[in-house]
Amino acid sequence: MKPFRVLEFLQHRREVEMDTIQTATFDPHRRRLLGTAAMGIAVAPLGLVAPARAHAGPSKSAPAGATGATFSALRHVRAGVLDIAYAEAGPKKGPPVILLHGWPYDIHSYAEVAPLLAAAGYRVIVPHLRGYGTTRFLSADTVRNGQPAALAQDVIELLDALGIGKAVIAGYDWGGRSADIVAAIWPERVKALVAVSGYLIGSQAAAQAPLPPEAELQWWYQYYFATERGRAGYAKNRHDFAKLIWKLASPKWAFDDATFDRSAAALENPDHVDIVIHNYRWRLGLAQGEARYDELESRLAQFPSISVPTITLEGDANGAPHPTPESYAKRFTGKYQHRLLTGGIGHNPPQEDPHAFAQAVIDADHL
């Protein structure tokens, strides 16, 4: 099957709308033009589909800002230790795609990617990670664990809860790491992978090796979070902290306050600080993980290869710490492509260049 292109988005739009069983409006005033250098085709956004297996009623997401697309309603599903809040777009019977956000961002990184993929016939699922938005732990007694294995396990639990056997999985930052882990450990659940900054699987042992001073400087916040002062500072100033990270990670992205505020609302989750602090302390070996993940972390410490069809992406202006493409290309042993996104694209490609990200998902599915 040949990959879909922009014109085919439009050809599939009517089929998508006919197959949609329930919609929640995707703000029509927030759409942007879908253009390549050769064409400027406007694609009206689709509604969000409420899946048949979801429970309870929809919960409102953060309010729309002055600019940018937004998800107007979310659904919830019990998955493992979580009640996961997620947006869904596209036909219920379409090929599933899971889109995973990073820190300190939220599902709105994909607010413009989701309707593009839905228009191409995909069933798009965009979950709030543990510690974000209206995703909640089912029990007050559950450890607020941010280790990579736990976050990846959440993806498997989500697939199971939604009755999805296999999906295209895409992500960046924390979401990219989880996508990598799922593809490496559970390849039978992954049809294709799109991973920003490539291979992000690591281990506590590997993190003990010192980096050159310039590289260590990029991780300043990790060392800040290792202190109680850092924990208190993040809890008190998470809004300003996140905005600083956005600016440093994407120095050429001219996002406005409304765009940032829409996502920053997700950081008010009561478990957010615990998850973030545990994640970064665990990486340095300063916090313990849960025994249930020991075997999985042991496998990840061996840096397993990824055999599923994969496209890796990198922005030409990514200001966050990230490996070079040549350092990880050999980790991908199946069909593989790497793409450099130019024009000042930083650490959050799905929001900074949604068309290129959506095309990568479609193309990975057809490698």
The alpha carbon of residue 31 and the mean position of all alpha carbons in its chain are separated, in whole angstroms, by: 20
Cα–Cα–Cα angle for 98, 102, 103, rounded to 5 degrees: 155
Q: What percent of the chain has pLDDT over 70?
A: 81
Look up residue 250 and give its two tokens: 């994407």
Q: Any idea of the CA torsion for 219, 221, 225, 228, to the nearest 10 degrees?
A: 130
Task: Summarize the confidence of residues 237-242 as an average pLDDT.
Answer: 98
- pLDDT at residue 52, as a whole number: 29
Q: Which residue has the higher pLDDT, 61 or 129?
A: 129
Is the pLDDT score of 94 beyond 80?
yes
Confidence of residue 101 (pLDDT cuts 50, 70, 90): very high
**CA-CA distance, 236 to 214, in Å (whole number)?**
28
- pLDDT at residue 68, as a whole number: 60
CA atoms within 13 A on the CB side of 244: 9
Longest dimension (CA), the chain: 56
Poorest-pLDDT segment among 12-21, 118-127, 130-139: 12-21
Confidence of residue 69 (pLDDT cuts 50, 70, 90): confident
Is the pLDDT score of 92 beyond 60?
yes
Residues 6+ apart with CB under 8 A from 208: 285
- Contact assessment for residue 284 and residue 132, using Cβ atoms and an 8 Å cutoff: no
Confidence of residue 290 (pLDDT cuts 50, 70, 90): very high
- pLDDT at residue 73, as a whole number: 87
**CA-CA distance, 195 to 306, in Å (whole number)?**
11
Look up residue 12 and give its two tokens: 């599939």
Tell me the pLDDT tens digit for each residue of 11-50. 444 343 334 323 333 332 333 333 333 322 233 333 333 3
Is the pLDDT score of 91 beyond 70?
yes
- Contact assessment for residue 296 and residue 185, using Cβ atoms and an 8 Å cutoff: yes
- Contact assessment for residue 313 and residue 357, using Cβ atoms and an 8 Å cutoff: yes
Tell me the pLDDT tens digit for each residue of 328-357. 999 999 999 999 999 999 999 999 999 999
Task: Summarize the confidence of residues 250-260 as an average pLDDT.
Answer: 97
pTM as predicted: 0.84
Compute how many other C-beta atoms are within 10 angstroms of the C-beta atom of residue 217: 11
Task: Summarize the confidence of residues 250-277 as an average pLDDT.
Answer: 97
- pLDDT at residue 171, as a whole number: 98
- pLDDT at residue 43, as a whole number: 31
Confidence of residue 63 (pLDDT cuts 50, 70, 90): very low
Q: Report which secondary-structure segment, H or E, holds 193.
A: strand 190-196
Poorest-pLDDT segment among 40-44, 242-246, 290-294, 337-341: 40-44
- pLDDT at residue 50, as a whole number: 30
Task: Summarize the confidence of residues 107-117 as an average pLDDT.
Answer: 98
**CA-CA distance, 98 to 105, in Å (whole number)?**
16
Look up residue 99 and give its two tokens: 């889109």
Average pLDDT over the chain, rounded to an integer = 86
